[in-house]
Amino acid sequence: MECKSDCGDRHMIAGKRLHLNRHKLRLIDSLVQQKELRDNLYRNVAMDYLLKRDTEENLSQFMADFKKLSTNNRHMGEINTLYEGIKRMQPNKSLPELVLYSAEEKPVALSELSNGKKTVFYFWSGSEMGHFRNINKRIGKLSVQYPDHNFIGINLRTDMARWQSLLETFGLDKSKQYWADDFDRVTHTLIIADPNKSIVAQDGIILDAFANVYRSF
């Protein structure tokens, strides 16, 4: 979907994705009258836009348009929660306060794991073994290509005993693997919508919270 070059939007310079999604909001506003359908369409545009990388300034401009056009949207709480979470994960902000567990079942703060080296956090689950094998193969290659980086795996949605068993079975470096006990809190806080998402940080400061283990390296 492309805009005509003479569409008259003076904000085009702000970014192509922002520009295009603003047009989507206006298109819904002009063509759809039924309230429930409008709310759902607005939600779809907002979720798709917010979950993809953009600047904090562009996100703010999008949300201003969204709230102006989609007043009293029944999904507003969900969208605002996502927006506020994404703002907290912008570059140069501190990693959120989350507690993970080591293979020895000792608690450790997420921020502590990024001390020193540039650290790449990636995510996997024992219930998705195909993804588990693929992502660990990818991380193995990246570890060779980027020896100055530290790659830390965070396990989600897996019983701790099974997680520990998988570490043993596949010979993973236990010092670089951690377990999360609260799936919902971790995924909502870190905005995990893509199984190949990664977060790059150093010394507790976010460098890129929306990286991808296949496309960003």
pLDDT digits (tens, 9 = 90+) for 93-142: 999 999 999 999 999 999 999 999 999 999 999 999 999 999 999 999 99
Question: In this structure, what token pair is assigned to residue 141?
Answer: 């290659």
Return d(Cα 200, Cα 203) in angstroms, integer. Answer: 11
**Furthest CA-CA distance within the chain:** 62
Q: Which helix (H) or strand (E) holds 123?
A: strand 118-125
Contacts within 8 Å (CB) and 24+ apart, 59-66: 59/83, 59/86, 59/87, 61/11, 61/14, 61/18, 61/22, 62/18, 62/21, 62/22, 65/22, 65/25, 66/25, 66/42
pLDDT band (50, 70, 90) for residue 84: very high
Report the interhelical angle of 35-50 vs 16-31 (nearest 10°).
Answer: 180
Return d(Cα 42, Cα 25) in angstroms, integer. Answer: 7
Average pLDDT of span 63-85: 95
The residue written with tokens 């998988």 in the block is 166
Q: Which domains does the chain have, with CATH numbers?
A: 12-88 (no CATH), 99-212 (3.40.30.10)
What SS3 class is residue 72?
A: coil
Question: In this structure, what token pair is assigned to residue 3?
Answer: 């805009």
Question: In this structure, what token pair is assigned to residue 14?
Answer: 């702000």
Q: At residue 193, does pLDDT exceed 60?
A: yes
The mean of the pLDDT values for the chain is 93
Q: What is the pLDDT of residues 5-43, one digit of tens each?
A: 555 554 444 468 899 999 999 999 999 999 999 999 999
The pLDDT assigned to 39 comes to 96
What SS3 class is residue 55?
A: coil
The pLDDT assigned to 2 comes to 52
